[in-house]
Amino acid sequence: MPALPAAGDPFDALGDSNRRAIVELLGSGGRTVQEIADALPISRPAVSRHLRLLKNAGLVIDEPRGTRRIYQLQGEGVEAVQRYLLEVWGDAATRFRLLARNARPNPKNR
C-alpha cells in the first residue's frame, strides 16, 4: 500500500457508517461541527470524535475561522486512498471487463 499522509488507517476510519456520511457531507464543501451534527442523527460530541479519527487518518483537515473550525476533506489523504484502490482493483476491473466482453453469448452459436 502506498504511504499514507497520517498515522491512522483511512480504511479503519471509513469502516464506520457515520464517518462515511461525514466524508460524503464534506465532499460538497467545508462545514462546522454543528452543521455536520445538524445533518446527521448523531450528537455534536460524537461528530467531534468522528472528525478527530478522520483527521488522524489524513482524510479531513480543519481550518480556524473566527471562533469556529471549518472541516473539509484533505485532498492528499483522499488521493492516497484512491491510488491504493486503483492499484489493487484497477487491474482486476480491467480483467473483469475483458472476461465479461469475451463471455457474452454469441448469437451465431444459437
Lookup: cell for 69: 473550525
Over the chain, what is the mean pLDDT?
A: 85
pLDDT at 25: 96
Distances (CA, A) of 4 to 29, 37, 54, 70, 104: 22, 28, 13, 23, 40
| pTM of structure | 0.72
107, pLDDT greater than 80: no
Reply yes or no on whether the pLDDT at 109 is more than 70: no
Asked if pLDDT for residue 27 goes beyond 60, the answer is yes
